[in-house]
Amino acid sequence: MNDKTEDHNARYGGADIGGNARDVITDPRSPVHTGSGSLVNIDIQKAIVGALGANEGFRPRLRQAVAEDEITWLAKRFVEPRNFAVAQHLLRDRRTVLLGGRQGSGRRSAALMLLAGLSHEGAVRILPPEPDETGILLNPNEVDSRERLLLDLTHAPADTSEALHAELSGFRAVLFEKEAHLAVALPTPHDSVVRAEFRSLSTDISRPDGAEVLRTHLTAEKVPISVQQLNHQELRPHLATSSMDELARLAHRMRMSYTANERDPFEVWLRKALSALTDRGEEVANKVRGKSGQERALMFVTAFLHDGPADVVPEAENRLLRAIDFPDDGTHALDRPDLVERLSGIGAHVDQEQRVRFSDFEWDTAIRSHFWLAYSPMRAPFLSWASGLIETANLRAPDTDRIAYRLAEQCLRWRQPGAAVSLAQRWAEKREPRLTSAATVVLVQGLTDEVHGGFFRRSLYDWARDAFLNPNLARIVIALCTDVLAPTLPDRALVRLHHLTRHRDREVSTEASNALTSLAEDHRFFRRLLDRLARWVDPGDPRDKPLSAVDIELLRRTAQASRLLDSSRRSQPLIADQDVRGQLELLWNAVLRAPERKAWFPLLGNWLETSLNNSTDVPLDLVVRATGSDTRLLGTLFHATSQWVAGARDPAERAGREQIQRQVLDKINDVMGLRADFADPSDKETVR
């Protein structure tokens, strides 16, 4: 393969990308890590980058805030389905469209292109496909002005429709208020999903012409194909019945095959591309039929070690035979055919780099899938064998990562997500770099899986809430939240990272805080962080909790007054937003109640200093209002302001600070209905 866009096979050997490739980010960002775990974090980052790249597949992932280049990518390959114009009309006039259609009709892509077609500056954003930890699916508090929102329910569980109906009316009211739009891709069938009151918002699309879809994809991939070639007899069944995802994968495989076999006739590279996509279970079964038990074991081992070191194959084979209780015939190794001869008998070989490979394109994938299905009673020993190979065999990290990826692939395909999570946890807790990497690969696979992603997100949530979670596993969770969850589901990432800031290991807590601080550089994430912390301390919330020193430090690092006053990139400063002001008042009230003044004094100093340097009393007004006229808090505020004045380094600085102190006192007295002379504040109730 000589194409610069490396396919997932190149790293992990032919994993099936059906259904989950579109949910992988392609350019993960690294969080800020500190402490003794930094070397471990490097291993985690490498594993995430490798797993995401391997999972990249045939299209870039749609991130939570969809980038323009991703929309451009899809637009070059998109063919409008029937009723697309009707859906456009609904979305434009009703601000909501519920998009139905048969499986494979391209509902998700159509929904995205509907949103992309709206001409305004609001971001296109992906909503989480399942309710959050509080049971909310559509949170109206998270809608920004003029946003374009996509909710993909094509793989959501049946009970999600209940949440959709319960929350849609209230959510739509906010859409109109904020001039935002929502496109929902419905599951199939959806007749029972859409209630009568919302049917006027729904329309069904039909599958676009398959030949036109494939031609459009191949043109975008720069693969030459004629009308006559599109009408090839081996293509016709795919063009007639394949889903939009399947046609996209076919185009991707054709591009790969064409790139690797440019000099071959069209029929040759087409056949190779088609063979990689076809369910080859029957073909594998025919090959396996007549093979001895040891030959079948060698096939299975080679499928897992495909592109791995050949010298590990005999040991791995012996381990498998023991795991499945295969009887030993007592034949000495020298009386048996050598490895090269035996590999030749199953269609494999050892290449010039001494790595074992099957000769047939993606044959390893077909074999793994066949054995996991045909020998389902042996899945437990298969799992035990593969995990043991990862843990103890003489393999390098890239090789163990490849095996871990393939193992996770089978667990997810055959509905065993719990087994994958358990293995990842076990490997992570051993704190060996190679196993840390393998654990990370498995978790990335799970988090980016359309069907089982929610199971893995829940596992991360449960782990994050454990203040005594194994530190190495905690570091993996931090990295996954930052690099995998945050770009697509920032609210989920925020909740998990916030819980991890309360971890009993100080280094883990610091790393989680650093990750939140780094992510909060983004305006949207910062708003979510403020909302999360404000809800945490809201006295009206039965879960009302005090701000920790870690929370206050987060505010110091992210909520500088200068940032809140800045309007260079916005039509108005953040502090002018009513919701933001309300959140900040709740937070300042909690801050002033915190017993450790040294924890929040730097934050207050920043706000006072900014008021001085910017000649504005907006921050002062907010802090004073935050006290709610509580005399104790007003006294705390004035005393801390006096302490700030006393810290001046020279007379000029002190004069400026005293001016701010006078303003604070005036505002305190205004709140109390008083107007005192600053000359002698010592006997005023407001400053006791």
Site of tokens 């404000």: 534
Q: How far is CA 154 from CA 109, 413, 486, in A?
A: 11, 17, 22
Q: What is the tens place of the pLDDT at every residue in 236-281?
A: 988 998 889 889 989 988 998 888 877 888 888 888 888 766 667 7
User: Distance between CA atoms of 340 and 343, rounded to whole angstroms?
Assistant: 5
Phi/psi of residue 183, nearest 5 degrees: -115, 125
Kindly state the helix (H) or strand (E) to which residue 152 belongs, with its residue range: strand 148-152
Sheet holding 348-350, edge to edge: 308-309, 355-358, 348-350
Share of the chain above pLDDT 70, in %: 88
Q: What is the tens place of the pLDDT at every residue in 471-522?
A: 999 999 999 999 999 987 888 999 999 999 999 999 999 999 999 999 999 9
Q: Domain ranges in the chain?
A: 80-205, 210-278, 282-395, 520-687
User: Distance between CA atoms of 344 and 295, rounded to whole angstroms?
Assistant: 11
Model pLDDT, residue 18? 28
Model pLDDT, residue 362? 81
User: Distance between CA atoms of 173 and 218, rounded to whole angstroms?
Assistant: 42
Going by C-alpha positions, the residue among 148, 164, 154, 157 that lies closest to residue 113 is 148
Going by C-alpha positions, the residue among 307, 297, 393 that lies closest to residue 342 is 297
Residue 419 burial (C-beta neighbours within 10 Å; 0-12, 13-18, 19+): buried
User: Distance between CA atoms of 684 and 287, rounded to whole angstroms?
Assistant: 93
CB 52 within 8 A of CB 63: no
User: Distance between CA atoms of 220 and 254, rounded to whole angstroms?
Assistant: 12
CB 186 within 8 A of CB 218: no
Model pLDDT, residue 143? 85
Model pLDDT, residue 341? 93
Average pLDDT, the chain: 85
User: Distance between CA atoms of 503 and 514, rounded to whole angstroms?
Assistant: 13
Is the overall model pTM greater than 0.85, yes or no?
no
Model pLDDT, residue 536? 85
The amino acid at 531: D
Q: What share of the chain is helix, strand, coil (3-state, %, to 5)?
A: 60, 5, 35
> 3-class SS at 628?
coil
Going by C-alpha positions, the residue among 57, 51, 54 that lies closest to residue 437 is 51
**Residue 90 CB partners (closer than 8 Å, separation 6+):** 96, 97, 201, 203
| Below-50 pLDDT ranges, the chain | 1-37, 56-64, 678-688
Site of tokens 């090269």: 340
Fold adopted by 80-205: Rossmann fold (3.40.50)
Model pLDDT, residue 361? 76
User: Distance between CA atoms of 587 and 593, rounded to whole angstroms?
Assistant: 10
Model pLDDT, residue 25? 25
Kindly state the helix (H) or strand (E) to which residue 210 belongs, with its residue range: helix 210-220
> 3-class SS at 358?
strand
Model pLDDT, residue 87? 96
Handedness of CA 62, 63, 68, 69 (dihedral sign): negative
CB 77 within 8 A of CB 221: no
In this structure, the number of other CB atoms found within 10 A of the CB of residue 23 comes to 23
User: Distance between CA atoms of 159 and 180, rounded to whole angstroms?
Assistant: 26
